[in-house]
Amino acid sequence: MGAADDRATANRVAPADGSARRAGRSRAWRRIGAAVAAFAIALALLGPGMRAPFDKDAETQSAQWIVDIVKHGNWILPLDYYGYVERKPPMFYWVGSIWPWLRGGAITQTDARLPSLVAGAAVAALTMDWAAADFGAPLGWLAFAFLLGSYGFAARANVALTDMLMTLWLIGAWRAMRGSLAGASGRAGPLLAGILMGLGVLTKGPVVIVLAGLAALVFIMLERENPLKFARRGWPWAMLAIALAIGAAWYVPAFIAGRSQDWGGVFLDENFGHFMPARMGGTGEAARPAYYIVARLFGAMMPLSLLVAPLLMAGAAGGFAESKRAAVRYPAALALAVVTLFSLASAKRDDYILPAIPPLALLYAALFSGALDPATGAARLRGLIVWTIAILAPVGVIAVLLATHSGVRFAPLDAHLQSSDASYAAIFLTGLKALNPPSVAFAAATIAGGAGAIRALVRRDALGAGVGIAAICVAGSVLFAGVIRPIEANTRCLAPFVNRIEARVHGAPLYVAFNDEELAWYRGRAIPALPRAIARDGPPPGAPVFLVARPTELVRLAPPVRRALEIVLPAGVLGGNQPTLYQMRPPVATAAGIAPPALTPNGLKPGVRSGK
């Protein structure tokens, strides 16, 4: 009888177990499908700016390192057109060389930017999945929209720089560490985290390990755990060993290959010299005040950054439900680690804020979830901020539309803006006046998003209000990153100028005042720097010698040589400090105390126009 009962029980349990397995598989497939959809949407929204001209030296030099890998096979220490070795690990350039190597042909700016685009779409998909796992699928998509609606993120998804790829490895490693930090005993998480951190080391250097370790320490402290408890476990050390072993696969050969170039000294400068201030032996490069990173991060996520006040209030006053506080602290720990480390560093660049944007997008989305108590002051402050954005954004767009079509001069253009900011504003206003499709889509999405947010606020629908704000943010981010920024970049592109130089010089000696990666990229090879003897004494009589220099670079020339320059061809692009083609002539001695015409501060002789 007992055996029969056991068989009957087994028959009853087996179908239930099978149903659970099928349900689990179904959830897994839905999760994978959502991530794939998020990746595809992100590619579509982040991709329009890929074909814009490069932005000065940083991108053009990155592209040259990819060219060197594809054409010359310098996988360990790629060189640019001037022979300068890459100072950081080359994972970005390895990834960037895959498609050009398979496709063949010339390498374009789109090829060089492809790793950042793919990495940016992957980060967006990871963020969506992260938020969905903790707060539900609707909040996952809201975090996804908040991320894509952050201009600081979208603008860096189509640049040929290493930061987006590094952010992908860091976000992936941080998610993989979650279970181990929560006390799980599995090996898969630390193994995956170690591999991803190792890839991060191969992309940006040991800073990835430092960021992950600092974030773990911050999370442990937020959870009020003893850090020594984790230090005594094996998984952190195993994870660290894996990351270091993967990084050593390149660092060891690089040290060996770069001995003749003092590459070890360059490594120390890149990883420690930039962190330390100049008075303590640092390089002093890009030194900025401690608040710089916070200020740039705040501006990069506007208007979402206004939500930082209710977020801090909810975190400090326990506004989130107890069951969700660990889910809030985990992304907060990563954002705090990024801001803290780079605020303490001497060198501070805009790109350093990038790893903090995905966790902040998740945290801002969490404010619109059921995890936030609607009766708290944080919820009321969130509502006030949403009201403000929902009203001001559409009203501002409508006001600008009316002003541009009535011929009213837009006041911000009369302010003392930087040349790039004035150019952005002019392009934006021109698009609204012409009512081109991108501008119409932006205006419609902004007005509809504001109206939707207001309607949701009236109905006390927090998620709906978040969706309305997300629509406003995505509309603005896509317009500026995908339309306005590429147009502005074209106004400064030096490719036509380089073509005119080639047609004018006709094979005569051509120099630049200092090594210029941007001009070299568009020429397809290096333009040599002016020899010191010519800069001091001028060219010898005879064949013509040409020089391309920016106004600030003319200080390299001796005053008599500078006065003998003859303007041949201005660049004719927007912005200050633009290059000009000069013909160099032997210095002329002054006669009767009358000196040759001097150059004006912009590098031109009086009465000479710089072009349109």
Interatomic CA distance for residues 164 and 155, integer angstroms: 10
Interatomic CA distance for residues 201 and 169, integer angstroms: 9
In a domain, 1, yes or no: no
Write the pLDDT tens digit of every residue in 421-452.
778 888 888 888 888 999 999 999 999 999 99
Predicted confidence at residue 186, as pLDDT, reads: 82
Reported as a pLDDT band with limits 50, 70 and 90, residue 521 is very high
Predicted confidence at residue 608, as pLDDT, reads: 38
With pLDDT > 90 as the criterion, what percentage of the chain qualifies?
Answer: 62
Task: Indicate if 484 and 505 belong to the same structural domain.
Answer: no
Q: Please, are residues 358 and 167 in contact by the beta-carbon 8 Å criterion?
A: yes
Write the pLDDT tens digit of every residue in 551-605.
999 999 999 999 999 999 999 887 778 899 999 998 876 433 344 444 443 444 4
Report which residue type is found at 252: V
Task: Indicate if 331 and 455 belong to the same structural domain.
Answer: no
Q: Please, are residues 553 and 471 in contact by the beta-carbon 8 Å criterion?
A: no
In a domain, 123, yes or no: yes
Q: Which of 461, 491, 521 is the last residue of a domain?
A: 491
Q: Which of 491, 514, 534 is the last residue of a domain?
A: 491
Predicted confidence at residue 530, as pLDDT, reads: 94
In a domain, 592, yes or no: no
Predicted confidence at residue 10, as pLDDT, reads: 47
- 392-407 mean pLDDT: 89
**Residue 256 reports pLDDT greater than 90:** no
**Residue 280 reports pLDDT greater than 60:** no
Residue at token pair 């190792």: 198
Distances (CA, A) of 116 to 165, 197, 203, 540: 6, 18, 12, 48
Average pLDDT over the chain reads: 86
Task: Indicate if 558 and 479 belong to the same structural domain.
Answer: no
Predicted confidence at residue 1, as pLDDT, reads: 45
Task: Indicate if 353 and 393 belong to the same structural domain.
Answer: no
Task: Indicate if 197 and 326 belong to the same structural domain.
Answer: yes
pTM: 0.88
Reported as a pLDDT band with limits 50, 70 and 90, residue 283 is low
Interatomic CA distance for residues 47 and 116, integer angstroms: 10
- Cis omega (within 30 of 0) on the bond before 303? yes
Concatenate the DSSP letters of all residues of 223-289 into one string. TT--HHHHHTSSHHHHHHHHHHHHHHHHHHHHHHHTGGGTHHHHHHIIIIITTS-GGGT---TTB--
Phi, psi of 423 (to 5 degrees): -65, -45
In a domain, 377, yes or no: no
Report which residue type is found at 277: P
Domain range for residue 527?
495-584
Interatomic CA distance for residues 192 and 305, integer angstroms: 32
Task: Indicate if 573 and 519 belong to the same structural domain.
Answer: yes
In a domain, 72, yes or no: yes
Total domain count for the chain?
3
Write the pLDDT tens digit of every residue in 347-394.
677 888 999 999 999 999 999 999 998 989 999 999 999 999 999 999
With pLDDT > 70 as the criterion, what percentage of the chain qualifies?
Answer: 86
Pairing relationship of beta strands 510-512 and 545-549 according to DSSP bridges:
parallel
Task: Indicate if 205 and 301 belong to the same structural domain.
Answer: yes
Predicted confidence at residue 422, as pLDDT, reads: 79
Write the pLDDT tens digit of every residue in 79-127.
999 998 887 899 999 999 999 988 887 889 999 999 999 999 999 999 9
Residue 547 DSSP label: E
Task: Indicate if 73 and 154 belong to the same structural domain.
Answer: yes
**Residue 527 reports pLDDT greater than 90:** yes
Instruction: Output the six-digit token pair for 243.
Output: 């990351």
In a domain, 78, yes or no: yes
Interatomic CA distance for residues 111 and 78, integer angstroms: 17
427 vs 269 pLDDT, higher one: 427
